[in-house]
Chain A
Amino acid sequence: MSATSATHDPRDATGTHDGASPPGPRRYRLVIRSRNDRVLTGTAAGLAEALGIEPLLVRLSLAVLTVAGGTGIALYLVLWVLSAEPDATTPDQAVRERPRTRQIAALACIVAGCMLVLRSTGLWFGDAVVWPVALAAAGSALIWARISERLPGNPVVSVFRGRISPLRVAGGGLLIAAGMTLFLVVNGTLASARTALLAVLVTAVGLGLILGPWILRLARDAGEERRQRIRSEERAEIAAHLHDSVLHTLALIQRSDDPANVAALARRQERELRAWLDHRPTPSEQQDLRGAVDALASRVEELHHVTVDTVVVGDAPVTENVGALLLACQEAAINAARHSGSPRVSIYVEADSDGITAYVRDQGAGFDVNAVPADRRGIAQSVIGRMRRHGGSATVTSQPGQGTEVQIQLPRAAS
């Protein structure tokens, strides 16, 4: 540690050089634990911050020293006791410069020195374990030291896009492989059954060393990223909806000077907005009967400047035959709008276990059903004929002066 704190770092405001820091008891601590880069307590990241190197290097060093008789754990605990929680004045994770090779080498030397000392004092799990682990840790550090914080996006993608030198990846991989092989060779004298188990274990550990930092980082970032994405997606959806619907209608209303037209536009917009607030699909994309009837009413209102009141009871999916029923309703409503002289048309649709029944009614002029000329195709073809083709039926009830009602039915079997 003395070696690294001697390399003077002018950025260092985290407590090792207390002269430049504002007064306060916490400022005199050796290490300020990191607030936003934590695996356990942020101590390792805090130390890395103080030393000006990657937190990952500190963590790997501690891991290697842990294998060396548990020294790493002891060291960590000591550091944790000596360190302080970050307070409000501590800046969020300062932007780190690239660690200097000298600092990395110094850290490696310290770790190696510690290991040699520990080995001679007997605090040791044995050569067969410690050296392979140290090799593999060095390999992992080589690959990941530069990636974990600096590069945006997915680190694995970074590797494949060549943003990390292939040399670094290859070297690190080689070191890890060497560590694993060494471990296997040294432990080769063990019973063959245990060897197989060991091989699996070692492979897992190797993979962990290669992928570990990435997984850690993903886990940390995933939550925050997902929250942000959901927020922005919701916003975008609402904005898109308002643009397509309300703003569009407002623009149309400003250009229109026909009061009937303005009223129809406003009604259609209101209906759409209500459907949207009720979480019903908007008429342009609706799949259910309710939405489809609303859409139909809007179309008739817009084209023919009448008020269309809709009441829908129950619901059903819009199949081909139900689509035919809807078209028949629309035709009947258009007929009422054009010929009855009534400013209102009522549509009532009920879907139940027997099927779907629709009534289209106006209180206008009415006509003598038997006196309709044969060439008037509207009702005969578009309503009655269409329903017959789709397994349903339709009847027209009307008398001069009493309005008209068209009843359209589609049995369950046909819907």
Chain B
Amino acid sequence: MSPTAPRTRLFLVDDHQLFRSGLRAELEGEFDIVGEAGDVDQAVAGIATLTPDVVLLDVHLPGGGGATVADAIIRRGAGETRFLAISVSDAPEDVIGVIRAGARGYVTKSISPADLADAIRRVRSGDAVFSPRLAGFVLDAFRGDLPTSIDPELDQLTPREREVLRHIARGFTYKEIGVRLNVSAKTVETHVSSVLRKLQLSSRYELTRWAMDRRMI
């Protein structure tokens, strides 16, 4: 990020005042924090008026949860606003729920401030952010073949995407993956974005069943 580029406008959504303060203190140096909210209604109203670049979205919120917020904003036309989900939990129901609602990435609250800032930058630039756990969930959900799927292209991962996800699940950064697979970090990003798109749009029956098995639905 060059110093002349406009600073990313960030909106914080978390029901714990203390956690919001902590985030603000950590991130203020690099980002413009234009607003914050503690529940779903405040969040939807605030994001709609302020149109931030990135919303850091807590998964568990009074009044419906982070998925409701993302869903409401995207439904009324999100513009350039992108969502990065953050939660103490990396339980599959939380992760998949908010990603399906349209979030561009998912990180846990144990993430280091530097990694979080990096994730926000990446989401801002249109890229997807996968934690190892999320990569594992996606691999798990998209296992095997499904002959009767409605859109086979959407419902399957290419071998390359699978390989990239596997590396993320093993704990590698995009840069490391690029080096290992002999491609640029940008190509890795493209694969990850395409996986995210498939995850969000897939009508895959197995994804539903997989989610039900884990009591998400």
Give chain A's interface residues, CB within 8 Å of chain B. Answer: 274, 278, 309, 311-314, 346, 348, 350, 352, 359, 361, 363, 405
Contact = CB atoms under 8 A, between A and B. Distances in A.
B133 A309 contact: yes
Contacts of A313: 136, 139-140, 143, 169
A311 B214 contact: no
A348 B166 contact: yes
Contacts of B140: 312-314
Contact of B132 (A348, A350, A352): A348
Q: Is the interface of B mostly helix, strand, loop or mixed?
A: helix
A361 B215 contact: no
Interface string B151-174: 000000000000000100111000
B135 interface: yes
Given A274-B91, A313-B143, A346 B136 contact: no
A55 B173 CA distance: 80
B100 to A, nearest CB: 19
A348 B166 CA distance: 8
Nearest to A314: B143
Q: Is the interface of A mostly helix, strand, loop or mixed?
A: strand
20 contacts: A278-B215, A309-B132, A309-B133, A311-B132, A311-B133, A311-B135, A311-B169, A313-B136, A313-B140, A313-B143, A314-B140, A348-B132, A348-B166, A348-B170, A350-B169, A352-B143, A359-B170, A361-B171, A363-B171, A405-B170
B136 A348 contact: yes
Contact of B171 (A274, A278, A348): A348
Contact of B170 (A274, A312, A352, A361): A361
Contacts of B132: 309, 311, 346, 348
B136 A312 contact: yes
Contacts of A346: 132, 170-171
A272 B139 CA distance: 23
Contacts of A309: 132-133, 171
A259 to B, nearest CB: 14
Interface in B170-189: 170-171
